[in-house]
């Protein structure tokens, strides 16, 4: 069956009003972050960093919910909720715009049109120096993606936004200015607390590193756009931290469905989802660590790009 005519499972019914569970989780995330910031340094700084990392990853997952219309049906309210960037480095507005662009499924893994891909144009790859190729190959292992991925991604992201800003994109400038205000407030709160700034920064980096586990193999090169998106049937701590976005084919087919409805939607339509993504499935994150911690799942140059225009 062609991808144009393959039916999608019916979406779960969504609440008409406020999603109180999601709102409560956002409030709890901020509350726990403040509790860690003021209460844990006297106990153990290492534990403080770990907790800050976990909470910044959760905040990013909640930001993802907000940009898809949760917990309120009002975009301004959702964005106000996520104004304090616990991850420090990524402006919410830029995350929103690039992620929504990523949801154009026909462009998934495109080296130019998918803002979240790690594939390179083979022609560009052929012109790269050996050291840069080596760095990208290391980044293509799970361990490399966790350690180097946040830094490499941030540098490339900021370089791209700098070019857009210099080209006159006022939206990019606005989003970075708003982010500067929010990040400044986060740093100011940290300065008022017993937590040193280096612990705040390492915790934020750790949060981004945790998110790289989720994004490592979310999409593969495949001729069928629905066949590019993974499902990881994990129900453990990482799945919760990622707010069930490991069920990624479910999210891409029904991006408006909130995190708490994804598992049931997947359970009730599992054969249809696995047919849609042509069996691109892993049982749990342990399987992914075992297979790819020290080796690549995909090549860096897009393996299908030579067949494109």
Walk along the chain (309 residues) and give the pLDDT tens digit of each residue.
Answer: 334 445 566 555 566 789 999 999 999 999 999 999 999 999 999 999 999 999 999 999 999 999 999 999 999 999 999 999 999 999 999 999 999 999 998 999 999 999 999 999 999 999 999 999 999 999 999 999 999 999 999 999 999 999 999 999 999 999 999 999 999 999 999 999 999 999 999 999 999 999 999 999 999 999 999 999 999 999 999 999 999 999 999 999 999 999 999 999 999 999 999 999 999 999 999 999 999 999 999 999 999 986 444
Look at residue 105 in the predicted model and tell me its pLDDT.
87
Look up the pTM and report it: 0.93
Residues 185 and 263 in one domain: no
Look at residue 309 in the predicted model and tell me its pLDDT.
46
Q: Report the C-alpha dihedral over residues 101, 107, 109, 115, rounded to 10 degrees.
A: -20
Residues 147 and 226 in one domain: no
Residues 59 and 30 in one domain: yes
Instruction: Report yes or no on 302 lying in a domain.
Output: no
Instruction: Report yes or no on 12 lying in a domain.
Output: no
3-state class (DSSP) for residue 232? strand
Give how many domains the chain has, as a whole number: 2
Listed residues 216, 240, 257: the one ending a domain? 216
Look at residue 10 in the predicted model and tell me its pLDDT.
58
3-state class (DSSP) for residue 6? coil
What is the Cα–Cα distance from 230 to 149, expressed in whole angstroms? 20
What long-range pairs does 252-255 form, CB within 8 A, spacing at least 24?
A: 252/103, 252/105, 252/226, 253/8, 253/9, 253/226, 254/8, 254/9, 254/11, 254/12, 255/68, 255/103
Residues 61 and 196 in one domain: yes
Listed residues 197, 216, 235: the one ending a domain? 216
Look at residue 2 in the predicted model and tell me its pLDDT.
39
Residues 92 and 198 in one domain: yes
Range of the domain at 99: 17-117+142-216
Residues counted in the chain: 309
Work out the angle between the directed axes of helices 45-67 and 92-102 (0-180°, nearest 10).
Answer: 50
Q: Report the C-alpha dihedral over residues 36, 38, 43, 45, rounded to 10 degrees.
A: 70
Listed residues 188, 216, 244: the one ending a domain? 216
Instruction: Report yes or no on 127 lying in a domain.
Output: no
Residues 192 and 251 in one domain: no
Q: What are the helix (H) ranges across the chain?
A: 20-39, 45-67, 75-81, 92-102, 122-127, 130-139, 142-147, 149-166, 170-192, 197-215, 237-241, 248-253, 262-268, 270-276, 285-292
Instruction: Report yes or no on 136 lying in a domain.
Output: no
CB atoms within 10 A of CB 176: 17
What is the Cα–Cα distance from 107 to 177, expressed in whole angstroms? 29
Look at residue 4 in the predicted model and tell me its pLDDT.
40
Look at residue 13 in the predicted model and tell me its pLDDT.
57
Look at residue 1 in the predicted model and tell me its pLDDT.
35
Residues 172 and 36 in one domain: yes
């Amino acid at each position: 069956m062609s991808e144009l005519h393959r039916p999608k499972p019916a979406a779960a019914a969504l609440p008409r009003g406020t999603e109180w569970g999601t709102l409560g989780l956002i409030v709890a995330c901020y509350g726990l972050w403040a509790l860690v910031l003021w209460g844990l340094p006297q106990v153990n700084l290492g534990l403080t960093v770990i907790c800050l990392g976990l909470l910044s990853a959760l905040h990013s997952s909640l930001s993802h919910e907000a940009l898809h219309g949760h917990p309120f049906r009002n975009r301004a309210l959702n964005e106000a909720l996520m104004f304090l960037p616990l991850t420090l480095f990524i402006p919410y507005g830029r995350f929103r715009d690039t992620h929504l662009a990523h949801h154009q499924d026909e462009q998934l893994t495109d080296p130019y049109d998918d803002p979240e891909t790690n594939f390179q144009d083979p022609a560009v790859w052929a012109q790269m120096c050996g050291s840069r190729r080596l760095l990208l190959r290391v980044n293509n292992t799970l361990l490399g993606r966790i350690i180097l991925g946040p830094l490499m991604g941030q540098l490339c992201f900021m370089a791209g936004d700098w070019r857009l800003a210099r080209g006159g994109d006022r939206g990019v400038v606005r989003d970075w200015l708003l982010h500067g205000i929010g990040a400044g407030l986060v740093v100011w709160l940290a300065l008022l607390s017993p937590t040193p700034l280096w612990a705040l920064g390492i915790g934020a980096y750790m949060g981004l590193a945790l998110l790289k586990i989720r994004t490592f193999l979310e999409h593969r090169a495949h001729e069928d756009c629905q066949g590019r998106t993974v499902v990881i049937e994990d129900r453990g701590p990482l799945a919760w931290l990622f707010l069930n976005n490991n069920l990624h084919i479910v999210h891409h087919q029904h991006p408006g469905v909130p995190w708490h409805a994804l598992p049931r939607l997947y359970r009730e339509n599992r054969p249809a989802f696995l047919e849609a993504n042509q069996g691109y499935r892993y049982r749990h994150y342990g399987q992914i660590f075992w297979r790819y911690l020290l080796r690549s799942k995909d090549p860096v140059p897009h393996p299908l790009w030579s067949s494109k225009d």
